Amino acid sequence: MDFITKRCILGAFLIIAINAQEGAHPSSQEDSSHNQQPSAEEIKKHLEHVVDSYVDRDKDGYVTVEELKDWIKFIHERGLQESVDQQWMYYEPQVEELLTWEGYNPEQKEVLTWDKYKNLTFPEYLFEETKKPEDLANLKDMLRRSERRWKLADVNGDGVLTKEEFRELLHPEESARVGEVLVLEAIEDMDSDKNNEVSLEEYMEHLKKVSGGEKEDSSWAPAQQNHFTNYLDKNKDGALNKDEVKDWILPSQDRHEGEAWHLVSMVDSDRDTKITKHDITANPQFFVGLIPSDYHMQHHSNQRTKDEF
């Protein structure tokens, strides 16, 4: 599932939750405000504030693709870094003296060892309590892949990860160097005959495993086959090689710009490639993803967001 689709689905679920809340009886006054879903009116106000304060940078009353792209990139990066920060704290890294690239003076840094990461992520009891051979094989394969990712993220091969390297372990899609592992993993997941290519049959079989109820629609399979044949299989030989899988998994296009174009196209009725604040607030199901995840709790004191952006 691509970055754009995830945001659209998130928006749809939030709107459904909001509508359900508005049709329900008010909850007790003892409920704290941060445990409540924002109302439709609150979402509209949040979107208005986001557009006025951050997105419409030149204050001309319009939102361009470039302005939207910059904001999408900002909230994506901040959310990713907050996720890394939380997981880094969970593993309780230790402080060690490391030699810097610039010289021989040691520098004290927090680092995470492979043994600690493995023991917390794949504790022994998981293997002992997993009885089904298929489940045990999958668990061992997850450990193998994690170790491979670890070695790729460990830039200097010293056996420990700094926080910067840990980020690449968690999010290889953000790293030009480590991202290649996602291509290998994708091929491993689909290439059932182990010939280092992904045939149409293998592609379709994999999609059926990972897709939900949408695969029951009669138009689903033909659409996926058409996408494989006309877009993914560049050389038209009936299979995806490593380069073609890479173009699919790690497209060279700026995904933030792609999402911005997608969102603008959803409401740009006059096709002038720019939209208004009203276009955005009138279609929250598309644009609710522009609101930072913690925004409803901090919109009265949002200096942090302003400073970061």
Q: Which two tokens stand for residue 135?
A: 């489940």
Pick from 3-17, 40-54, 110-124, 187-201: least confident:
3-17
Band (pLDDT 50/70/90 cuts) for residue 26 is very low
- The label of the residue with tokens 């939102």 reads 63
The yes-or-no verdict on residue 183 having pLDDT over 60 is yes
Chain mean position to CA 95: 30
pLDDT confidence of residue 106: 72
Q: How far apart are CA 253 and CA 137, in angstroms?
A: 36
pLDDT category at 19 given cuts 50, 70, 90 is very low
pLDDT digits (tens, 9 = 90+) for 92-115: 999 987 766 555 667 788 999 999
**pLDDT, averaged across the chain:** 85
pLDDT of residue 197 exceeding 50, the answer is yes
Q: Residue 114 in 3-state DSSP?
A: helix
**Cα–Cα distance, 50 to 299 (Å, whole number):** 10
Which of the four pLDDT bands, split at 50, 70 and 90, describes residue 9?
A: very low
Higher pLDDT, 260 or 25: 260
pLDDT in tens, 279-300: 999 999 999 999 987 765 554 4
**The predicted structure's pLDDT at residue 306:** 59
Q: How far apart are the C-alpha atoms of 121 and 218, rounded to whole Å?
A: 41
Query: 309 pLDDT band (50/70/90 cuts)?
Result: low
Whether the per-residue pLDDT at 3 is higher than 70: the answer is no
For residue 222, give every residue at least 6 positions away whose Cβ sits within 8 Å of its Cβ, in sequence order, or none: none
Please give the average per-residue pLDDT across 39-63, as a whole number: 95
**pLDDT greater than 50 at residue 175:** yes
Beta bridge partners of 96: 109
Task: Please give the share of the chain, as a percent, with pLDDT higher than 70.
Answer: 81
Give the pLDDT mean for 145-165: 95
Summarize the confidence of residues 65-79 as an average pLDDT.
95
Can you give the pLDDT at residue 280? Answer: 96
Predicted pLDDT of residue 298 = 57
Q: Please, are residues 130 and 139 in contact by the beta-carbon 8 Å criterion?
A: yes
**pLDDT score, position 36:** 67
Q: Which residues pair with 276 in a beta bridge?
A: 62
